[in-house]
């Protein structure tokens, strides 16, 4: 009981005594605006910073400058949150060390990782979180990150953690951003900017972690896993169509990872020798199948849309099975946490973390290390290790 009380005290400290934030607009970009009406805008950011120092992060695929991609807009959960939850009353926060210790600045930014998240490795702009941006609408011309840890496709997913911004609310925030752009640079220029930008969407896992698996509102008696997946896909479809209706054309939809292999679920399901929780992974694979079909159907229905689906499960399992090939030596224990597989208690202090995360697949209970994120990003970009994106990869989509 005393340990649980200690965790609660630490959690409250995290919420109410956070350190000074590292604003994303102090980071980097590789892309210049391409429209005459905004070509004079020069963001005050330093030159490109090198990747974080993990072994695999030192040599990701070199991505050329892409002048035809003016901006990156990110939607999702903790897999891509770059600081939104720093400004919310929630237990789901990563604004304290050891989070961010291997990031370019070696300081926490709100990313749920020891270093970079996948979107940081794509060769597209580092963009500020929607709640963290401090400038004018012009500062959003190179993109915004709306992702919020704990968020899901279902509005109430993650509610036990505190405040979060659901996927539907994130889409509403973008629509508001788009309207601000129209007022600033006009409708035509705004539509050109948006239609040529990349929209990266990584969400859905919390609808399992914090809703279905926990049987919130007796959902398991109302929906079979298959029907629940159909429900999620239907909601995702509606939000993607909302984005399409405000001129979004280039979208990357990320599938769900094998969370049954995450330290928390190996601890929870009492894995004896590091076996994944297959019951959980089976639901995830089924969900990914339905979501891929949904994306394929939208590509046929929406004229001019270019939506790719990337199977994170496939890529992550390749890393897990061939971990020695990739240079990993620890596939079950998280770098930071407490208990068996470091999956019982979350990462809440530097003393709980290992000294070197580069050999670990998992950073904490649920999130991979930046070394894994670098590999995933390479696969999204051009299938460097595994062809995980359908009908094509991001590089091919952008050049088509």
Looking at the predicted structure, is the pLDDT value of residue 298 above 50?
Answer: yes
What is the reported pLDDT for 125?
Answer: 72
Cβ proximity of 178 and 194 under 8 Å: yes
**pLDDT range class, residue 75, cuts 50, 70, 90:** very high
Provide the 10 A C-beta neighbour count for residue 330: 18
| Distance, C-alpha 166 to centroid of its chain | 13
Distances (CA, A) of 277 to 68, 283, 329, 366: 43, 11, 21, 13
**Overall average pLDDT of the 48-66 stretch:** 42
71/200 Cα distance (integer angstroms): 11
253/136 Cα distance (integer angstroms): 28
User: Tens digit of pLDDT for each residue in 241-285?
Assistant: 999 999 999 999 999 999 999 999 999 999 999 999 999 999 999
Looking at the predicted structure, is the pLDDT value of residue 47 above 80?
Answer: no
Contacts of 364 (CB under 8 A, 6+ apart): 112, 263, 334, 335, 336, 337, 342, 346, 347
SS3 assignment, position 284: helix
One-character DSSP codes across 81-119: -SSGGGGSSBS----STTTTTTSTTSS--S-SSSS--GG
Question: Which of 81, 104, 311, 364 is labelled catalytic?
Answer: 364
**pTM, rounded to two decimals:** 0.86
**pLDDT range class, residue 10, cuts 50, 70, 90:** very low
Residue 283, phi then psi, degrees to nearest 5: -65, -40
Cβ proximity of 153 and 207 under 8 Å: yes
Question: Which of 11, 52, 54, 78 is labelled catalytic?
Answer: 78
The answer to whether residue 24 is catalytic is no
Looking at the predicted structure, is the pLDDT value of residue 95 above 90?
Answer: yes
The answer to whether residue 323 is catalytic is no
User: Tens digit of pLDDT for each residue in 200-232?
Assistant: 999 999 999 988 999 988 999 999 999 999 999
Lowest mean pLDDT among 55-69, 81-95, 155-169: 55-69
SS3 assignment, position 126: coil
Q: How many residues does the chain have?
A: 400
One-character DSSP codes across 9-47: HHHHHHHHS------GGGS--------GGGTT-----PS
The answer to whether residue 25 is catalytic is no
User: Tens digit of pLDDT for each residue in 306-322?
Assistant: 999 999 999 999 999 99
**pLDDT range class, residue 66, cuts 50, 70, 90:** low
Looking at the predicted structure, is the pLDDT value of residue 9 above 50?
Answer: no
Cβ proximity of 106 and 123 under 8 Å: no
Using DSSP bridges, classify how beta strands 198-202 and 250-254 pair: parallel, antiparallel or unpaired. parallel
**Overall average pLDDT of the 133-141 stretch:** 86
What is the per-residue burial (b if ≥16 Cβ within 10 Å, else e) of 162-187? bbbbbbbebbebbeebbeebbebbee
What is the reported pLDDT for 13?
Answer: 45
Provide the 10 A C-beta neighbour count for residue 305: 18
Lowest mean pLDDT among 42-51, 269-278, 347-356, 389-398: 42-51
Question: Which of 210, 367, 370, 378 is labelled catalytic?
Answer: 367
């Amino acid at each position: 009981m005393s340990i649980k009380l200690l965790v609660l005290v630490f959690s409250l400290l995290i919420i109410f005594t956070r350190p000074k934030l590292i604003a994303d607009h102090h980071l980097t970009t590789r892309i210049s605006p391409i429209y005459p009406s905004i070509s004079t805008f020069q963001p005050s950011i330093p030159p490109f910073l090198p990747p974080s120092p993990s072994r695999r992060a030192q040599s990701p695929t070199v991505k050329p400058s892409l002048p035809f991609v003016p901006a990156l807009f990110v939607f999702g959960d903790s897999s891509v949150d770059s600081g939104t939850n720093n400004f919310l009353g929630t237990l789901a926060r990563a604004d304290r060390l050891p989070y961010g210790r291997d990031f370019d600045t070696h300081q926490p930014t709100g990313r749920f990782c020891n270093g970079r998240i996948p979107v940081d490795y794509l060769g597209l702009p580092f963009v500020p979180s929607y709640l963290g941006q401090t400038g004018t609408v012009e500062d959003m011309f190179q993109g915004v990150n709306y992702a919020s840890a704990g968020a899901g496709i279902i509005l109430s997913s993650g509610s036990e953690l505190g405040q979060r911004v659901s996927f539907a609310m994130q889409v509403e925030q973008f629509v508001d951003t788009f309207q601000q752009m129209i007022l600033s640079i006009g409708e035509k220029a705004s539509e050109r900017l948006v239609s040529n930008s990349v929209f990266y969407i990584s969400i859905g896992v919390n609808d399992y972690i914090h809703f279905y698996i926990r049987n919130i509102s007796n959902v398991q008696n109302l929906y079979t896993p298959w029907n629940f997946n159909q429900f999620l896909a239907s909601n995702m479809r509606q939000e993607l169509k909302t984005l399409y209706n405000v001129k979004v054309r280039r979208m990357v939809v990320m599938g769900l990872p094998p969370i049954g292999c995450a330290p928390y679920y190996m601890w929870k399901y009492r894995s004896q020798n590091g076996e994944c929780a297959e019951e959980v992974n089976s639901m995830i694979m089924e969900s990914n199948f339905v979501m891929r079909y949904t994306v394929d159907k939208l590509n046929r229905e929406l004229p001019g849309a270019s939506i790719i689906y990337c199977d994170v499960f496939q890529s992550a399992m390749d890393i897990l099975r061939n971990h020695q090939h990739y240079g990993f030596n620890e596939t079950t224990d998280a770098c930071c946490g407490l208990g068996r597989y470091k999956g019982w208690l979350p990462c809440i202090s530097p003393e709980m973390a290992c000294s070197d995360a580069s050999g670990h697949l998992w950073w904490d209970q649920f999130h991979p290390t930046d070394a894994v994120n670098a590999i995933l990003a390479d696969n999204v970009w051009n299938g460097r290790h595994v062809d995980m994106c359908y009908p094509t990869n991001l590089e091919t989509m952008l050049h088509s």
